[in-house]
Structure 1
Amino acid sequence: MTANPILLALAPIFFVILAGYGAGRLRIVENHHVDGLNALVMIFALPASLFVATASAPRKEMLDQAPLFLILALVMLLVQLAWYFFVRASSDVSKADAALQALTISFPNLAGVGLPIAAAVVGPDGVVPVAVALAAGSIIISPLSLVLVELDTGNPKEELATGSPGKVWTAFLRSVTKPVVLAPTVGILYSLAGWELLSLAKASLMLVGVAAPGVALFLTGLILSSQPFRLNWSVVAATGLADIGRPILTAVVVFTLPISTETAKIAILLSAIPSGFFGILFAVNYRLNSASTGSMVIASTLFSIVTLATVIALLF
């Protein structure tokens, strides 16, 4: 019983990643210049998908998800800060690379793995919690990482304002105005306003939004095909923190708060999802080395077969 949902969810994911990896290794698709595919995912497909998922949720259902939003945002933020300061103190990794590693470890692969897992385990009602979790990461975790990246890398075409406050404000504006951050924010506000998303708008946006998980996973495999897999202490530690530490921390938080059992179970399940691909895509966007981040995604996804099976068996 517990093996089927994991197999049905993870097998297609590995298939698409391997398809992208094979396409890159065999030179069917260029794997060193992926700006076009990256733009398709981060500017069009994923923002459209996030907006529809959040804007389509009824107002009451969105309000009911407030505890889940706060719990997952807190857990992801704690994991993000813990890894960032740990890796900065224990290695010579740059601030930008540390920020993207922290983003990868703290923000689960909710779009690629979370949706099929939630649909298989929870059913149709699992879509909205995944969208809320995506919104929490996109609104809080991604902007913080992007601010740190912006402060470290700067912009060659436009210098940041002199002085620390000016740099932070400019970096913050650049991060929060990215489509992948704006889309879920606007979607949540749209839902809370009680407005109903027009069928025509939903169908139009989902025509491109439905491609987000598949193209993102294919792009992940394509990028990974251009770099070696490196299994070292940081990859092992990152995998342990993401696949074991994150769900355990979530369990500690939910069992100390007066929330419903169903919310607690979903929060732990979503926290057990392996590391996401945002760090890889942002690394490509900022022309940063994504080898370590890619290795963390691969190791976390492989190990999650064990951890997800354990969480599902214990809770569902």
Structure 2
Amino acid sequence: MANTILLALAPIFFVLALGYGAGRLRMVDNQQVDSLNALVMNFALPASLFAATASAPRSQLFAQAPLFLILGAVMLVLFLAWYFLQVRLGKGGKAEASLQGLTIAFPNLAGVGLPILADVLGPSGTVPLAVALASGSIIVSPLSLIIVELSRKQDGAAEAPTARMLGSLRRALTKPVVLAPALGILFSLCGFKSGAVAEACLMLIGHSAPGVALFLTGLILSAQPFRLDWKVVSATWIADIIRPLLTAAVVFLLPVSTETGKVAILLAAMPSGFFGILFAVNYRLDSATMGSMVAASTVLSIVTMAIAIAVLFPH
């Protein structure tokens, strides 16, 4: 168990520290990160998500439908709870509250989930991981992006509310990181085969997504002070403790298989993800609070994931 946790988290901290050090030492400009952000969010991560979902057999995707719905529902509840609480308290704008909610609700499945499931479940862990990533990318990410789009100040003539809503919906749903997993699932459900050559081409750039995203996260953090305030503490507690416990409660109440339940809880125990930070960079929003949330959640997850693995997969 200790070896599993070490193998999963040591590379995460190493790449984060690498990006942080590169920014602090001015080896890489930590103020101009748009190009790296575009590489991750428009190319590498969409390619990885499409390849993972499109290559999954249709029967396996149908079997993972409960996992998709459980994790999607848990992420949505946590996202909405944090968003409405922040808006009600008047702490920051709606766009920032939306991306903070995305950071808390959507765990770091790409960076932490892959090595954990590969060690715990072996090769069979690839499909549930792809489905879990698709769940967050299709359900929570678009909602967060729609709120951000609606919160932006529009230039020129004022748009009608309906036109503005439709425009925000279109911009959010056409983001590559949203489109890719949806198209991948549709591709698989239609029985199409991507082929070895196409899959190899996509995965060549797709495999770089977690590493470059973590490096970019460290680079962004190097330009900001770490904030350990009540908001960061609350977000870390919700992401690392409440999220897996809420998932366990849902699994207990629903008639799902034991294996699906265990995988859902383990995936929910992963630390906060980096989507919120990268979207904040893309929209020129403050990412310092989200960066602190990710850092604190990742540190605490050393303990929480060790407990989750020991309880769910003792052997």
Considering the TM-score relative to the shorter chain, is it more than 0.5? yes
User: Which residue matches 1:258?
Assistant: 255
Counterparts of 2:173 and 2:158 in 1: how far apart (Å)? 16
Partner of 1:130: 129
Residue 283 (structure 1) aligned with residue 275 (structure 2):
no
Does 1:90 pair with 2:102?
A: no
d(CA) in 1 for partners of 2:87, 2:250: 26
Q: Secondary structure at the match of 1:255?
A: helix
Can you list the C-alpha shifts for 1:40-69, whole angstroms capped at 9, x where unaligned?
A: 000000000000000000000011000000
- Which consecutive unaligned segments of at least 5 residues does structure 1 have? none
Residue 113 of structure 1 pairs with residue 112 of structure 2: yes
**Secondary structure, in 3 states, of the residue corresponding to 1:125?**
helix
> Does residue 161 of the first structure (1) align with residue 159 of the second (2)?
yes
In the alignment, is the contact (CA less than 8 A) between 1:272 and 1:311 conserved in 2? yes
Structure 2 CA distance, aligned partners of 1:72 and 1:221?
Answer: 27
State percent identity of aligned pairs: 66
Distance 2:102 2:153 in 1: 19
Please tell me whether residue 219 in structure 1 is matched to residue 219 in structure 2.
Answer: no
Rounded Cα–Cα distance in structure 2 between residues aligned with 1:286 and 1:224: 17
Between the aligned partners of 2:296 and 2:157, the Cα distance in structure 1 is: 37
Matches of 1:180 and 1:209, distance apart in 2: 12
CA distance in 2, matches of 1:266, 1:154: 41
CA change 1:235–1:64 in 2 (3 A) is same
Count residues in correspondence. 313
**Is 1:160–1:170's contact at 8 Å kept on the other side of the alignment?**
no
Q: Distance in 2 between matches of 1:54 and 1:87?
A: 34
Taking the aligned partners of 2:34 and 2:158, their CA distance within structure 1 comes to 24
5+ residue gaps, structure 2, are none
CA deviation map 1:54-86 (0-9, x unaligned)? 000000001100000000000000000011111
| CA distance in structure 2 between the aligned counterparts of 1:272 and 1:166, rounded to whole angstroms | 39
**Shift, 1:90, TM fit:** 2.4
Q: For the residues of structure 1 that align with 2:193 and 2:239, how far apart are their CA atoms?
A: 36
Contact kept in structure 2, 1:160 and 1:166, CA below 8 Å = no
Residue 149 of structure 2: aligned partner: 150
Matches within 5 A, 1:179-190: 179-190=176-187
Secondary structure of 1:302's counterpart equals: helix
Which string of whole-angstrom CA distances, capped at 9 and with x for unpartnered residues, describes residues 76-135 of structure 1? 000000111112222431000000000000000111111111111111111111110100
CA deviation string 1:230-258 (max 9, x = no partner) = 00000000000000000000000001111
How much does 1:147 deviate?
0.5
TM-score of the pair, normalised by structure 2: 0.98
Match of 1:99 in 2: 98
Matched, 1:239 2:245: no
Any conservation in 2 of the 1:154–1:160 contact (CA below 8 Å)?
no
Map 1:69-88; keep pairs closer than 5 Å.
69-88=68-87
Given that residues 35 and 285 in structure 1 are in contact (C-alpha distance below 8 angstroms), is that contact kept between their aligned partners in structure 2? yes
1:148-198 deviation line (CA, Å, top 9, x unaligned)? 001111454x767322x3222211110000000000000000111111111
Question: How far apart are the structure 2 equivalents of 1:167 and 1:13?
Answer: 39
Letter of the structure 1 residue corresponding to residue 287 of structure 2: S
CA spacing shift, 1:200–1:160, aligned 2, 3 Å: farther
1:206 aligns with 2:194: no
Give the Cα–Cα distance (whole angstroms) in 2 for the partners of residues 160 and 46 of structure 1. Answer: 34
Q: Supply the distance in 1 between the matched residues of 2:309 and 2:279 (Cα, whole angstroms).
A: 31
The question of whether the paired residues in 2 share the 8 Å contact of 1:109 and 1:275 is answered with: yes
Partner residue, 1:57: 56
CA distance change for structure 1 residues 159 and 272 in 2, over 3 Å: closer, same or farther?
A: farther
